[in-house]
């Protein structure tokens, strides 16, 4: 395919996503199935166009005066990918699979920005209803934080210290451009590429098959380390899902002690068995919600880890479509879920034990607001300042920008180069 056909395909897929509310990944897969002549290079370009149009939907819509899929895709090609107006006009003229030629207005808007300035939330590609929350958390940095959450994410990997070393992995993955991450000592990163470029498929690497590394954002690695799980401890991973944090905790505990991995949704928990095997983890007991209760763990855990169900506003770089789909109702539901999970978790912490609370959201309602409310309901808990643990683990030269008065931390793409993650560590009085 040439660029003209790829642009048409991206418009078709984006229309499907917007009008039928289909998840992008499914819409792209279905397009691929019904257009078998398209090669993997074509699919990459089409996917990149669709995802980038969604990343910058609001700022492009302001620039173009329209949020039609066609307009967003053409603007992505000319402006975000910097292919230029003349190149687009040539592509449209030369390929009979290309979209219709440009209208006068489209050409004018692509050539120059309209007068005036966009509102801050439009410039930052943050939904208007979430802007007050962004201002509350980030203040004058809100626009920069929104913009950073719109960019493409790198591929981050976590070295499995049970099986390999970072030095060895860096050598193995040098051909893919992997480098050490700046903060987590377990992290390796392949930087995001621009435009039509394809990211390497690291799951095909021998090292992945052998369990030497896992795909995991650096922020996830950092919060797993900040929980301070030690060899020999009793740990409950209460929202274990597919086990990403469980594996990181197990490695930090050097495979010693016991982790109980639980999730309310057994389907989400299902992949954990295979992952534990591949990673060579032996200290995890998976508790299936359908067949086992957790009563025997009451008041007995050194650490309860809550990777809470959340809105995912911190991972917009990886799921740009979720940014525009999020509703006030969904946020309210997650806030309720989180309060419930926190109350449940409290019952498993032993006197003197810890409770780590993590979200991949940057919204105060799900983070500091949730912790403040929990502390009021549970006076037997207090906050253990996370910054001191951070400095002990990562040094004093890269403090996170958002270390709250509460003793909590917020990581963001703009400040730590990671996904947006919140972390608070609480301690039960002895």
Cβ contact 238:304 at 8 Å? yes
As a whole number of Å, the end-to-end CA separation of the chain is: 67
Q: Which residues, including other chains, have CB under 8 Å from residue 76's CB and lie 6 or more apart?
A: 49, 52, 53, 56, 60
The reply, when asked if residue 419 is annotated as ligand binding, is no
The site for ligand SAM (CB under 6 A) is made up of 238-245, 263-265, 268, 307, 309, 337, 340-341
Q: How far is the CB of 239 from ligand SAM (least distance, A)?
A: 3
Cβ contact 355:426 at 8 Å? yes
When the beta carbons of 94 and 336 are compared against ligand SAM, the nearer one is 336
| Residue 117 CB neighbours (<10 A) | 10
Q: Which of 223, 211, 267, 273 is nearest to 249 (CA)?
A: 223
When the beta carbons of 120 and 270 are compared against ligand SAM, the nearer one is 270
Q: How far is the CB of 400 from ligand SAM (least distance, A)?
A: 20
Q: Which of 365, 267, 383 is nearest to 311 (CA)?
A: 365
| Residue 396 CB neighbours (<10 A) | 9
Q: How far is the CB of 160 from ligand SAM (least distance, A)?
A: 15
d(CA 144, CA 208): 34
Q: How far is the CB of 414 from ligand SAM (least distance, A)?
A: 22
Cβ contact 371:408 at 8 Å? yes
When the beta carbons of 202 and 264 are compared against ligand SAM, the nearer one is 264
When the beta carbons of 152 and 268 are compared against ligand SAM, the nearer one is 268
Q: How far is the CB of 285 from ligand SAM (least distance, A)?
A: 16
Half-sphere exposure of 156 (CA within 13 A, CB side): 25
The reply, when asked if residue 263 is annotated as ligand binding, is yes
Q: How far is the CB of 421 from ligand SAM (least distance, A)?
A: 10
Q: Which helix (H) or strand (E) holds 44?
A: helix 40-55
When the beta carbons of 92 and 238 are compared against ligand SAM, the nearer one is 238
Max Cα distance, the chain (Å): 75
Q: Which of 417, 389, 371, 415 is nearest to 226 (CA)?
A: 389
Tell me, yes or no, if 360 is annotated catalytic: yes
Dihedrals phi, psi of 163, to nearest 5 degrees: -125, -20
d(CA 395, CA 183): 9
Q: Which of 369, 368, 362, 408 is nearest to 149 (CA)?
A: 362
From the candidates 49, 360, 411, 425, give the one annotated as an active-site residue.
360
When the beta carbons of 155 and 239 are compared against ligand SAM, the nearer one is 239
Catalytic residues, by residue number, are: 360
Binding positions for S-adenosyl-L-methionine are 263, 307
């Amino acid at each position: 395919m040439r660029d003209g056909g790829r642009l048409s395909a991206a418009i078709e897929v984006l229309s499907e996503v917007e009008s039928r509310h289909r998840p992008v990944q499914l819409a792209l897969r279905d397009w691929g199935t019904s257009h078998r002549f398209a090669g993997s290079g074509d699919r990459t370009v089409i996917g990149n166009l669709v995802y980038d149009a969604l990343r910058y939907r609001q700022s492009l819509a302001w620039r173009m005066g329209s949020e039609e899929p066609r307009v967003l895709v053409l603007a992505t090609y000319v402006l975000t990918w910097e292919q230029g107006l003349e190149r687009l006009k040539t592509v449209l003229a030369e390929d009979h699979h290309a979209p219709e030629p440009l209208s006068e207005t489209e050409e004018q808007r692509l050539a120059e920005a309209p007068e005036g300035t966009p509102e801050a939330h439009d410039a930052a590609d943050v939904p208007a209803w979430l802007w007050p929350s962004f201002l509350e958390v980030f203040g004058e940095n809100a626009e920069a934080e929104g913009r950073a959450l719109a960019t493409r994410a790198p591929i981050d990997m976590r070295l499995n210290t049970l099986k390999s070393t970072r030095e060895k992995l860096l050598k193995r993955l040098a051909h893919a451009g992997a480098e050490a991450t700046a903060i987590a000592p377990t992290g390796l990163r392949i930087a995001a590429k621009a435009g039509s470029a394809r990211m390497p498929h690291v799951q095909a690497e021998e090292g992945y098959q052998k369990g030497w590394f896992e795909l995991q954002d650096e922020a996830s690695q950092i919060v797993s380390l900040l929980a301070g799980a030690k060899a020999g401890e009793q740990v409950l991973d209460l929202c274990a899902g597919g086990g990403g944090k469980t594996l990181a905790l197990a490695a930090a505990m050097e495979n010693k002690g016991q982790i109980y991995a639980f999730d309310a949704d057994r389907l989400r928990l299902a992949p954990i068995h295979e992952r534990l095997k591949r990673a060579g983890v032996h200290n995890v007991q998976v508790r299936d919600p359908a067949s086992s209760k957790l009563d025997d763990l009451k008041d007995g855990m050194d650490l309860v880890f809550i990777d809470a169900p959340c809105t995912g506003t911190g991972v917009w770089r990886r799921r740009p479509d979720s940014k525009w789909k999020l509703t006030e109702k969904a946020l309210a539901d997650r806030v309720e879920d989180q309060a419930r999970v926190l109350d449940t978790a409290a019952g498993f912490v032993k006197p003197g034990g810890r409770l780590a609370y993590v979200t991949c959201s940057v919204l105060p309602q799900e983070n500091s607001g949730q912790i403040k409310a929990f502390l009021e309901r549970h006076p037997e808990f207090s906050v253990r300042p996370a910054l001191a643990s951070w400095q002990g683990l990562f040094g004093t030269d890269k403090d996170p920008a958002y270390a709250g008065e509460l003793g909590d931390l917020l990581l963001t793409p703009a400040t730590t180069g990671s996904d947006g993650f919140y972390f608070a560590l609480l301690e039960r009085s002895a």
